[in-house]
Homo-oligomer: A and B are copies of this chain.
Amino acid sequence: MLIAIDAMGGDFGPRVTVPAAIRALQDFPDLSILLTGDEALIKPLLSRCHPHLLKRISVQHSVIAVAMHDNPKHVLRSQKGSSIHLAIQAVAERRAEACVSAGNTGALAVIARYLLKMYPGVSRPAICTMLPAQNGECLMLDLGANLACDAEDLYLFALMGSAMAEVMQHKQSPKVGLLNVGEEELKGTEVIQHAAAIMSQQSLVHYSGFVEGSDIFSGQVDVIVCDGISGNTALKTSEGVVRFLFQQIKQAFMQSWYSRLVSVLVRPVLKRLKRSLDPERYNGAVLLGLQGVVVKSHGAAESEGFYRAIVHAQRAVQANLCQKVGDKVRAKQ
């Protein structure tokens, strides 16, 4: 399997993406990687790589790196040779089976939509990620690609999220919740009310009603659907809370001589806890609805996180995710 990696994306570029790629090659003997980006920055990082791994890496040179604040449509029109563009193009031309980028999300979505095309009935990719939950995991979409959604969009997200939970997490008839400001039937906007009505009357997804932000981590449902603003807000808020809590824990253990003493003993337990909740572990959101696997890594991901995104892309290819999502969407029509 060949995965194309936009080596320039994210806050750290090749310094993070190249070591992650090398680690993935070490761990998965059937994997090959195409790195797109500035050879002058990438090649030195490959110098320490074992020759037998080097054989499975190729580099496609590009000096155009898309910035985080670049306008996606402008990028599509005028930066055709960018590292993001080349990585997606490799998938479009079937040279690669998936692509991974930590770059500008909007540009990634716009270029992927243009080069890979959507499945009929889907207008824009939906960003879907896995979040930790009590007794398992929960998928959530959309996380920011679709800011304004109508009821049909939300139903589409439910279909695509269900397909992903089925093939990637082996859940039979995954439960889908619709994010709302309350669980009572009357709550929510017209769009949410309409989406609930649509989902209550179909049989392609196992719709289980409204959920609230607090249910994301409770394990009550397997998939949560919402518009991109709510999803993005929920995702980033939860990142913020985790960071804040660990700061508070650290401070709590510095407050007295007793707590400082205990903190030495407790360190291994907290370290394990932190590792199990580390956002890096859950890094790698899939752009669903595209006719090809595109995985978005968090821009701030370190090497561990970017490695997870590569593994995620690989698993999506193995599970034939895109095809299954396309089938589910087609069944609706």
- Chain A contacts to B: CB under 8 angstroms: 68-69, 71, 132-134, 144, 147-148, 179, 181-182, 184-186, 188-189, 212-218, 226, 228-230, 232-245, 247-249, 252-253, 255, 258-259, 262-263, 265-266, 268-270, 272-273, 276-277
| B266 and A239 contact, CB distance less than 8 A | no
Q: Is B217 in contact with A243, judged by CB distance below 8 angstroms?
A: yes
* Copies of this protein, total: 2
Select A240's contact among B217, B236, B262, beta carbons within 8 Å: B217
- What's the Cα separation between A184 and B105 when bound, in Å? 12
- How far in angstroms is the closest Cβ of chain B from A183? 9
Q: Which residue of B lies closest to A186 (CB)?
A: B71
Given contacts A229-B229, A234-B237, contact A244 B185 (CB under 8 A): no
A265–B263 CA distance with the chains assembled, in angstroms: 10
With both chains docked as a complex, state the minimum distance between the C-beta of A300 and any C-beta of chain B, in angstroms.
10
- With A and B bound together, what is the CA distance between A268 and B247 in angstroms? 18
Question: In the complex, are the beta carbons of B269 and A229 less than 8 A apart?
Answer: no
- Contact in complex: A237, B216 (CB < 8 Å): yes
Inter-subunit contact B216/A240 (CB<8 Å): yes
* A–B Cβ pairs within 8 angstroms, 30 of them: A69-B185, A69-B186, A144-B182, A147-B181, A147-B188, A147-B189, A148-B189, A181-B232, A213-B235, A213-B236, A214-B237, A214-B240, A218-B243, A218-B244, A229-B230, A233-B233, A233-B237, A237-B237, A238-B241, A241-B241, A245-B245, A245-B277, A252-B270, A252-B276, A255-B269, A255-B272, A262-B269, A265-B265, A265-B266, A266-B266
